[in-house]
Amino acid sequence: MDKLDARILNLIQSGFPLEKKPYRELARQTGIPEPDLVRRIKILKKKKIIRRLGGVLNSERLGYPGALVAARVPARGLERLARMVGNHPGVTHCYERKGRLNFWFTLQTKSRKDLAAVISKLEKESGIRFVCLPSRKRFKINFQIEF
């Protein structure tokens, strides 16, 4: 990754242009032709430096309650559980952590009732007991990496 890639990453994460031709605008801001900018972004995605480009919606304001969910999972079952849970459409993040509760994920659903139903279904499918920590108030920080 060179300095131009770093500039592109800084621009993308700080405010992707909301206009008809956003890549043209990013190219203008970086001083390179649009095809070169798009090629660089594709390379950064291929290298998994960029995971995805997209909006981040406030699910709570849209009426979708969320929860942080945790479980104690034997090491040999982590991969299988991660695939199963990660395939659920309401799961946004899924990861392993150190400690007694070593498997965590975030979940959004249409209602608190649906939240409980999804957790119950996942427990039945996996044989794992989950600890569900529904969100009550969101404290959002603006996390950005300066490249």
Residue range 45-71, pLDDT digits in tens: 999 999 888 877 777 778 788 899 999
Nearest 10 degrees: CA dihedral of 108, 132, 92, 89? -60
Per-residue model confidence (pLDDT) at position 15: 81
Per-residue model confidence (pLDDT) at position 142: 67
Encoding tokens for residue 24? 């043209």
Separation CA 8–CA 30 (nearest Å): 7
Show pLDDT as tens, one digit a residue, over the chain (147 residues): 899 999 999 999 888 898 999 999 999 999 999 999 999 999 999 999 998 888 777 777 787 888 999 999 999 999 999 999 998 888 988 999 999 999 999 999 998 899 999 999 999 999 999 999 988 877 766 667 777
Encoding tokens for residue 140? 């959002």
Say if CB 101 and CB 78 are below 8 A apart.
no
